[in-house]
Amino acid sequence: MSVLDIARGAYVRSPKVLRDAVSPALALLPVSLKYGRSYQDWRTAIRRSRTDKAFTEVRRLDALRALMAKAYAGSPFWRERIDLALSGRPDLAHFDFETIAALPVLTKDVLRQAGPEALAQAATTLDHASTSGSSGQPLLFWLDKDRSPREFAFVNDVWARTGYRDGDARCVLRGLLLDDIDQRPFEWEAGLKELRCSPFAMTQARMDLYLDMIDARRIAYLHGYPSAIEILCRHIWRKGWQPKRPILGVFPISEPLYPYQRDVIRTALPDAEIAPFYGLSERVLFASEVDGEEDLYAFEPLYGHAELVDENGRAVTEPGQRGSIVGTGFLSTGMPFIRYETGDTAELAQSAAAANGWRLQVRAIAPRRQPEFLVGAEGNRIVTPTIVPVHPDKFFGVSEFQFYQDTPGHCLIKVVPAAGCGAKEADLFVDEIQHRVGSAIRLELRLVGELAGNARGKRPFIDQRLDLAEFGVGA
């Protein structure tokens, strides 16, 4: 584990006051030092894996065996689970991808119940993280501290297809917490060369400001939520804005990218290549769109082992058949994710095999997190579910939650409080979200015993009673 690798990840997650102090020096570092040897080695391995099938097969098998050995030695939860599935102490030195199929699929509920027993190393050596809670119940988990360069290697490999080079400036439209969203809805992150713009209240005045800042920084790449980028691109088209430097790449993240959104982006930014990828907060799987094949995704075999299974946990083998995406992660192993049920589904295009470099290919990924909107007082759309804080500390006192809206500019947050907690603790959660969205919408807390669900028992992240078509959604 490299100290520099840990430092890079710590910088990204550190408070703004600390980043401001360090970023001028970081901005001056050459790319080779800023990203480090680990990053460069992974970029080389990723490129090699696309042409050297023997290399890919050996590397992914070694990664699997190392993961299983670590899980078995360090985690009581995994030791018991592996022993039960394989009828006693397994031969981990000869573990393979056929053997792993004998293990049961790992659900989020089972992982929640396992708690720290699922860790393969001490929690103090890991970073505590959380999913966004788009289902109303976030999953708390742990990640390796030195994961950042490995993750960047895969992301930047995808972005490089648009002409992007390590260290190029980007305009970022994602759920980053800004100090005062109403007075200054953007910030310049010098160390990472990011113009960070709030995606929460996309008013015309704010979007004009974003475009001015893009021109001032001569930025050629947009990075963020498709729903936010689409709103900005509609504004660009209506305004007839011509950037001083052409926008060359658009990097959608965290939400599904719909065909109508691609059309909006292409109309507004005809010079831009769109480079989406599929990833998970838990760092289990990573897939990128196949060149020239819209909506066809190939999973990276060095990042993790991807499976598509039916409702009985059996492998989907018929092209066109839909199944659940299950992953075994190689990138971060302090908390092993082995045959982890992502909650996402897809249609099989091509099974992983030696002929395609062990890259499972799928179409029509349907994420667990659907893009949804709240509507501000001015009729502006507020991108969700990313207004929800991710850090586990922010969920103290909250068991489950749900947004409810029937009036523009006003939203109820229904909260099922955690045991022993009440309005005092839940208010802190609501205040955090209010701080993120600013005055664009007024939030109101309502404590409830349970959340309303649909006919299938699923609870929507947003119980939206407004007709979003009136506010341009899906148009």
Is residue 359 domain-shared with residue 308, that is, in the same domain?
yes
Q: Which one of 314, 344, 367 terminates a domain?
A: 367
Does the pLDDT of residue 322 top 60, yes or no? Answer: yes
Whole-number pLDDT of residue 469: 76
Helix (H, G, I), strand (E, B) or coil at 243: coil
Flag whether 13 is in a domain: no
Is residue 358 domain-shared with residue 249, that is, in the same domain?
no
Flag whether 226 is in a domain: yes
- Residue 423 burial (CB count, 10 A): 13
Is residue 326 domain-shared with residue 384, that is, in the same domain?
no
* CATH code, domain with 231: 3.40.50.980
Flag whether 117 is in a domain: yes
Q: How many domains, in total, are found in the chain?
A: 3
What's the pLDDT tens digit per position in 340-374? 999 999 999 999 999 999 999 999 998 765 557 88
Question: 181 falls in which pLDDT band (50, 70, 90)?
Answer: confident
Is residue 187 domain-shared with residue 78, that is, in the same domain?
no
- 312 is in which domain, residue-wise? 50-141+299-367
Rounded Cα gap, residues 395 and 47, in angstroms: 40
Does the pLDDT of residue 105 top 70, yes or no? Answer: yes
Flag whether 44 is in a domain: no
Whole-number pLDDT of residue 16: 60
Flag whether 450 is in a domain: yes
What's the pLDDT tens digit per position in 32-76? 666 778 999 999 999 999 999 999 999 999 999 999 999 999 999
Rounded Cα gap, residues 358 and 97, in angstroms: 11
- Which residues, in sequence order, are CB contacts of 80 under 8 Å at separation 6+? none
Of residues 3 and 58, more confidently modeled: 58
Let me know: does 228 contact 185? Beta carbons within 8 Å.
no
Whole-number pLDDT of residue 13: 54
Whole-number pLDDT of residue 30: 65
Which residues partner with 249 through β-bridges? 221, 273
Is residue 342 domain-shared with residue 271, that is, in the same domain?
no
Flag whether 283 is in a domain: no
Q: Which one of 367, 394, 413 terminates a domain?
A: 367
Is residue 97 domain-shared with residue 118, that is, in the same domain?
yes
Flag whether 184 is in a domain: yes
Whole-number pLDDT of residue 35: 72
Flag whether 169 is in a domain: yes
Q: Which one of 367, 383, 417 terminates a domain?
A: 367
Is residue 339 domain-shared with residue 450, that is, in the same domain?
no
* CATH code, domain with 119: 3.40.50.12780
Is residue 221 domain-shared with residue 335, that is, in the same domain?
no
* CATH code, domain with 386: 3.30.300.30
Whole-number pLDDT of residue 209: 95
Is residue 383 domain-shared with residue 443, that is, in the same domain?
yes
**Average pLDDT of the chain, as a whole number:** 87
Whole-number pLDDT of residue 26: 56
Is residue 71 domain-shared with residue 179, that is, in the same domain?
no
Does the pLDDT of residue 387 top 90, yes or no? Answer: no
Whole-number pLDDT of residue 82: 95
Is residue 96 domain-shared with residue 171, that is, in the same domain?
no
- Which residues, in sequence order, are CB contacts of 280 under 8 Å at separation 6+? 327, 342
Phi and psi, residue 129, nearest 5°: -140, 180
DSSP string, 32-78: HHHHHHHHHHHHHHHHHHTT-HHHHHHHHHHHHHHHHHHHHHH-HHH
Is residue 242 domain-shared with residue 160, that is, in the same domain?
yes
Q: What percent of the chain has pLDDT over 90?
A: 58
